[in-house]
Amino acid sequence: MFDIATAVGASIFRGDEANVLSRYHSAAEAAGADYVMRITSDCPLVDPDVCGQLLGAVMDGGYAFGGISGFPHGLDCEVFTMAELKRAFRETSSSMEREHVTLGIKNRKENRMLHLVCPQEYRTLQGEIRLVLDYPEDHAFFDTLFNLAGPIIDDMTWLEVKAFILQHHAKLQQNKVVIEDWKQSTAAIMSRARSEGIEVGRGFGEATVEWRFDGQR
């Protein structure tokens, strides 16, 4: 991965393997960031338009944090200020918050936060479209999807990817079996957070803005 990133000219930072929060803080400081966008490598089809609209809404509104709501799992992105990242890094004593970078930011009630919301007309049933790589079954799904779609998938919007998956539904069933296991894993994470005194399940988007479809990637 390091070699691939270097070959395409990406800036690279390496830090404490056991402390994700520390890595984010140090990498953002090295980059001189004012805002940080969190995109994880288990979401290979994250949509730049969704990310861009979230970033713009957070910056324009002066929010401390922004996330998305109502989109398929696998389009995940979050935006937060460097000031909040510094505060979380400085103040956290929780192993959970060091592992899950934005928990401490979302748990701070003083923060103004935002949801970028997927309009109802574009939503899917939970688990109908799963675009995240957590399990071997997810890998099999992506392998089939990329082979079916070919290089054009790099230029598809998430709605075009969704339409393609639904069109080839019979061939893209590999990761449907992991939905229940994923729900149980998520519940276990939330239980662990509560055991460390971290409030979870809070409706962190005190403000909302709808995602606008413009037909472009």
CATH of the domain at 205: 3.90.550.10
Residue 143 lies in a domain: no
Q: Specify the number of domains making up the chain.
A: 1
Per-residue confidence (pLDDT) for residue 217, from 0 to 100: 52
Its domain, for residue 113, covers: 2-123+198-210
Residue 183 lies in a domain: no
Mean pLDDT by 10 residues, the chain (217 residues): 90 90 95 96 94 96 94 94 96 87 87 93 80 93 96 94 93 79 71 69 68 72
Residue 175 lies in a domain: no
Quickly tell me which residue has 């935006």 as its tokens: 79
Q: Counting beta carbons within 10 angstroms of the beta carbon of residue 146, is it exposed (0 to 12), middle (13 to 18) or buried (19 or more)?
A: middle
Residue 159 lies in a domain: no
Residue 204 lies in a domain: yes
Residue 148 lies in a domain: no
Q: What is the pTM of this model?
A: 0.87
Residue 49 lies in a domain: yes
Residue 162 lies in a domain: no
